[in-house]
């Protein structure tokens, strides 16, 4: 034990006094197994209580070929904290299938992850885009790579096209885009290309890979309009996504009422989406992040994806700011790539032909970093607070809030 004044106990000493014998208990499969809380990026964190049944069924789905294709031949590194939906449920998959589990430890920088991946011959890694951005930057700057790795799973928030291009074109690593929520244990969709899409052009394939993918077996999905009516899966109609299934929560822990759950078992995700005829879900925004300008909706996610593909921009976030004429207008907040100094005019011109003209942000703010939550998601409420309170002239950085 290290010298410390803290009231700590030795893990090894605690184990030493216990018996090596363990009798596995017998209990109902609906008994509670674990409790996780939502990230709270759009509201107060809420508890989601999982049962043994829901967790085992979710693990089966995660292990399927369409998801992780788990087996003893693979070694997976989840760069995801255990409090984040039990590290996306990956530790359960490794126990079920014999897949090697590599835990990341405290070093989450590109150099540390690269050394660990190579030392353990990692074949699959899973994490949020901010982690992979740091890894890719390290690989480029130091001519590094992980030859054993063939798949990277990206979740938490959507990857942008430059990130997908870098992994697949520069390093020969397949990108598996997955989507889910704490309320879903978390897996909901996975984006694997159908065989008929493999011969499509690179641009067409990437268009599909930017989507959240198709529902995994066991998850039902529908989209509804503002009046609650069900909308067609034609790739055009968009509304709020609702889901249900054996590992989708039916209520929040110790909350008697929830507007997100209905009597038929459907859970309202808060995501605004389209679903195309092939079943691919495309999230256009969170319902609380949609910018309502002149009576029309603007997708902050689509603007962020375009901005992130700019050669001088590393990260981007879009928020709605009050406007006397249009109610709201989009404001773009960007983090430049190292050594780059993007200019406002150049960035706004970059949007021409990529989004509708009235979607193009009115202004841009440059910041050193974007505030991230514990799960790696950009905290837009904090971004808005600092950006609106700080300097709004392009080329400066957002300072302390004015009040």
CA distance 182 to 177: 17
Residues in contact with 376: Cβ distance below 8 Å, sequence separation at least 6, in sequence order: 127, 128, 129, 130, 131, 156, 157
Active-site annotation holder among 59, 88, 183, 274: 183
Q: Is 159 left (phi over 0), alpha (psi -120 to 50) or beta?
A: beta
Active-site annotation holder among 38, 41, 114, 182: 38
Distance in angstroms between the alpha carbons of the first and the last residue of the chain: 47
Rg (CA), the chain: 22
Contact predicate 145/115, CB 8 Å: no
What residue spans of 268-356 are helical by DSSP H? 300-308, 344-349
Positive or negative: CA dihedral 38, 214, 308, 299: negative
The answer to whether residue 292 is catalytic is: yes
Active-site annotation holder among 42, 100, 207, 297: 297
CA distance 37 to 183: 9
Tally the residues of the chain.
403
Farthest CA pair distance, the chain:
72
Listing DSSP states for 387-403 in one string gives HHHS--SBTBB--S---
Closest CA to 306 of 273, 332, 337, 268: 332
The answer to whether residue 38 is catalytic is: yes
Contact predicate 51/32, CB 8 Å: yes
Active-site annotation holder among 194, 202, 292, 327: 292
Decide: helix, strand or coil at residue 327. Answer: strand
The answer to whether residue 183 is catalytic is: yes
The answer to whether residue 4 is catalytic is: no
Residues with catalytic roles: 38, 183, 292, 297
């Amino acid at each position: 034990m290290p010298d410390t004044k803290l009231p700590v106990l030795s893990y090894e000493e605690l184990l030493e006094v216990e018996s090596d014998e363990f009798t596995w208990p017998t209990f109902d499969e609906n008994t509670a197994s674990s409790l996780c809380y939502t990230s709270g990026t759009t509201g107060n964190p809420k508890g989601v209580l999982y049962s043994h049944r829901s967790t085992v069924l979710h693990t089966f789905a995660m292990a399927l070929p369409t998801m992780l294709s788990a087996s003893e031949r693979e070694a997976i590194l989840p760069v995801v904290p255990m409090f984040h939906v039990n590290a996306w449920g990956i530790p359960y998959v490794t126990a079920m299938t014999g897949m090697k589990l590599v835990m990341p430890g405290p070093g989450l920088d590109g150099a540390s992850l690269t050394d660990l991946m190579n030392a353990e011959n990692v074949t699959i890694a899973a994490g949020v885009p901010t982690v992979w951005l740091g890894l890719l930057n390290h690989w480029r700057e130091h001519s590094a790579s992980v030859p054993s790795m063939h798949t990277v799973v990206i979740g938490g928030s959507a990857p942008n096209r430059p990130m997908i291009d870098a992994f697949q074109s520069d390093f020969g690593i397949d990108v598996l885009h997955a989507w889910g929520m704490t309320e879903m244990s978390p897996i909901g969709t996975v984006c694997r290309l159908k065989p008929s899409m493999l011969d499509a052009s690179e641009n067409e394939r990437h268009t599909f890979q930017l989507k959240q993918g198709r529902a995994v077996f066991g998850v039902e999905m529908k989209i509804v309009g503002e009046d609650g009516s069900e909308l067609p899966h034609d790739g055009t109609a968009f509304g709020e996504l609702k889901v249900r299934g054996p590992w989708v929560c039916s209520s929040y822990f110790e909350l008697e009422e929830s507007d997100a759950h209905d009597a038929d078992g459907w859970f309202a995700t808060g995501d605004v989406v389209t679903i195309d005829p092939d079943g691919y879900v495309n999230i256009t925004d969170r319902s609380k992040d949609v910018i309502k300008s002149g009576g029309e909706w603007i997708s902050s996610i689509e603007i962020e994806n375009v901005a992130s593909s700019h050669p001088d921009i590393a990260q981007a976030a879009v928020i709605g700011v009050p406007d006397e004429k249009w109610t709201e207008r989009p404001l773009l907040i960007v983090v430049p790539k190292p050594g780059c100094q993007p200019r406002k005019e150049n960035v706004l011109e970059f949007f021409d032909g990529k989004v509708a003209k009235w979607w193009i942000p009115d202004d841009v703010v440059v910041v050193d970093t974007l505030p991230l939550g514990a799960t790696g998601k950009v905290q837009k409420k904090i971004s808005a607070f600092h950006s609106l309170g700080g300097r709004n002239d392009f080329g400066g950085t957002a300072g302390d809030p004015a009040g």
